[in-house]
């Protein structure tokens, strides 16, 4: 048994399609941890599924959800030494996911964040699968602020879909900040600036992938660009993310050209859409509020109490 208390938080909104599978698998583990579901007023059977599994549920108004603020609320509510966040669409591959994920935090005092590996769902196309292949490799490693020269902006890469944090370390940086998106990215940057380390745990694996339309891709990258412009902590440390982004695009185009050349035009268009979304978002503060709301994937954010 770990000397740390461990709590798992699953933010949900209409999660009936996946929640039972996730809870059934996780509760099979002999590793001890508590589970809290923070539900954004689902109108499906999410809450009843959680109740059936005897899981604590805290319901919040949908308008009160925020990627950073809701996680901050949840970590204080569950109040464990280590808090794990798992999104409703991240399906554990093994029953001991949580045990594997938190192991580096338990064994190393200076490692205060860990995140797991993502693999695509069965049948995912190249545009879903390749980002996982590019960002989530087969070997585990740790990173610190001293690795910026080697990793660049990737030094601060994390995943809010499957990640664990030491609460005492989060307290030193004020926890998760209210933000449109990328709360994990900003939190990691502040923690690494404090001298802490992040661990990538390649054997803590979840299935997690999405198929987005070009419009949705634009909106997602608009949100990312906007959030990073408002929170320039990483840009101040390493500059813009274009070098890694260009590396990704080149690698994607090469893979598509070699494996499915008939998709090369779509790959080029998708890459341009992502880049355009990011750049428009980065300068989005100059746009009228109603335009930002239309360009964003999270239209509710712009009329919420967090904006």
Handedness of CA 258, 203, 24, 42 (dihedral sign): negative
Provide the number of structural domains found in the chain: 2
In this structure, the answer to whether residues 236 and 113 fall within a common structural domain is no
In this structure, the answer to whether residues 239 and 157 fall within a common structural domain is no
Give residue 279's pLDDT band: very low, low, confident or very high (50, 70, 90). very high
Beta bridge partners of 117: 205
For the ranges 48-57, 231-240, 273-282, which has the lowest average pLDDT? 231-240
CB atoms within 10 A of CB 121: 15
Q: Take residue 203 and report the two structure tokens written for it.
A: 């054997």
What pLDDT is recorded for position 306? 87
| In a domain? residue 34 | yes
| In a domain? residue 76 | yes
In this structure, the answer to whether residues 222 and 296 fall within a common structural domain is yes
Place of tokens 């603020």: 69
Average pLDDT over residues 155-181: 97
What pLDDT is recorded for position 1? 47
In this structure, the answer to whether residues 219 and 268 fall within a common structural domain is yes
Does position 49 have pLDDT exceeding 70, yes or no?
Answer: yes
Report the run of H or E that residue 114 belongs to, with start and end. Answer: strand 111-119
| Residue 276 contacts residue 217 (beta carbons within 8 Å) | no
Cα 67 to its chain centre, rounded Å, is: 9
In this structure, the answer to whether residues 280 and 239 fall within a common structural domain is yes
In this structure, the answer to whether residues 139 and 288 fall within a common structural domain is no
| In a domain? residue 1 | no
Q: Which of 289, 287, 253, 292 has its CA nearest to residue 270?
A: 253
The CATH number given to whatever domain includes residue 44 is 3.90.550.10
Does position 32 have pLDDT exceeding 80, yes or no?
Answer: yes
pTM for the model stands at 0.95
Q: Name the 3-class secondary structure at 198.
A: strand
Give the whole-number percent of the chain exceeding pLDDT 70.
98
In this structure, the answer to whether residues 224 and 194 fall within a common structural domain is no
Dist. CA 143–CA 283, nearest whole Å: 30
What pLDDT is recorded for position 242? 61
Does position 2 have pLDDT exceeding 90, yes or no?
Answer: no
Dist. CA 136–CA 90, nearest whole Å: 14
**Residue scoring higher pLDDT (241 or 183):** 183
What pLDDT is recorded for position 235? 86
Total residues found in the chain within this entry: 307
Name the pairing type of β-strands 162-166 and 82-86: antiparallel
Burial of 33 (0-12, 13-18, 19+ CB in 10 A): buried
Average pLDDT along the chain: 95
**Residue scoring higher pLDDT (149 or 56):** 56
Residues 6+ apart with CB under 8 A from 232: none
Instruction: Show the domain range for 38.
Output: 6-207
Give the residue from 207, 226, 242 where a domain finishes.
Answer: 207
Average pLDDT over residues 222-244: 86
Residues 6+ apart with CB under 8 A from 102: 2, 4, 6, 82, 84, 114, 164
Average pLDDT over residues 70-77: 98
For 191, how many CA atoms within 13 A lie in the half-sphere containing its CB?
A: 31
Q: Name the 3-class secondary structure at 176.
A: coil
CB atoms within 10 A of CB 7: 23
Does position 240 have pLDDT exceeding 80, yes or no?
Answer: no
In this structure, the answer to whether residues 197 and 226 fall within a common structural domain is no
| In a domain? residue 172 | yes
In this structure, the answer to whether residues 184 and 218 fall within a common structural domain is no
What pLDDT is recorded for position 19? 98
Dist. CA 154–CA 141, nearest whole Å: 12
In this structure, the answer to whether residues 166 and 22 fall within a common structural domain is yes
Q: What is the pLDDT of residues 105-132, one digit of tens each?
A: 999 999 999 999 999 999 999 999 999 9
- Distances, alpha carbon 272 to alpha carbons 85, 155, 217, 233, 267, in Å: 32, 25, 10, 25, 9
| In a domain? residue 14 | yes
In this structure, the answer to whether residues 197 and 246 fall within a common structural domain is no
Give residue 241's pLDDT band: very low, low, confident or very high (50, 70, 90). low
Does position 42 have pLDDT exceeding 70, yes or no?
Answer: yes
Phi, psi of 198 (to 5 degrees): -115, 140
In this structure, the answer to whether residues 267 and 282 fall within a common structural domain is yes
């Amino acid at each position: 048994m770990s000397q740390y208390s461990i709590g798992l938080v699953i933010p949900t909104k209409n999660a009936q399609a996946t929640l039972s599978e996730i809870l059934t698998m996780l509760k099979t583990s002999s590793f001890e941890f508590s589970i809290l579901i923070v539900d954004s007023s689902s109108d499906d059977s999410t809450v009843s599924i959680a109740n059936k599994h005897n899981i604590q549920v805290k319901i919040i108004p949908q308008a009160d959800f925020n990627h950073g603020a809701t996680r901050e609320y949840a970590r204080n509510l569950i109040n464990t030494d280590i808090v794990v966040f798992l999104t409703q669409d991240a399906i554990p591959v093994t029953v001991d996911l949580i045990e594997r994920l938190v192991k580096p935090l338990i064994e190393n005092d200076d490692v205060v964040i860990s995140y797991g590996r993502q693999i695509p769902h069965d049948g995912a196309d190249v545009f879903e699968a390749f980002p996982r292949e590019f960002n989530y490799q087969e070997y585990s490693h740790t990173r610190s602020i001293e690795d910026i020269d080697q990793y660049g902006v990737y030094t601060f890469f994390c995943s809010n879909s499957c990640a664990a944090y030491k609460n005492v370390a989060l307290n030193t940086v004020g926890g998760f900040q209210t933000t449109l998106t990328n709360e994990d990215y900003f939190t990691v940057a502040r923690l690494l600036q404090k001298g802490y380390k992040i661990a990538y745990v390649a054997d803590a694996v979840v299935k997690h992938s999405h198929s987005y339309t070009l419009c949705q891709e634009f909106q997602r990258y608009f949100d990312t660009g906007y959030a990073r412009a408002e929170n320039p902590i990483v840009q101040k440390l390493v500059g813009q993310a274009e070098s890694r982004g260009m590396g990704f695009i080149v690698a994607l185009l090469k893979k598509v050209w070699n494996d499915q050349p008939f998709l090369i035009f779509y790959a080029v268009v998708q890459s341009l859409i992502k880049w355009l979304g990011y750049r428009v978002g980065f300068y989005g503060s100059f746009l009228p509020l109603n335009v930002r709301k239309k360009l964003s994937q999270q239209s509710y954010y712009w009329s919420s109490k967090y904006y």
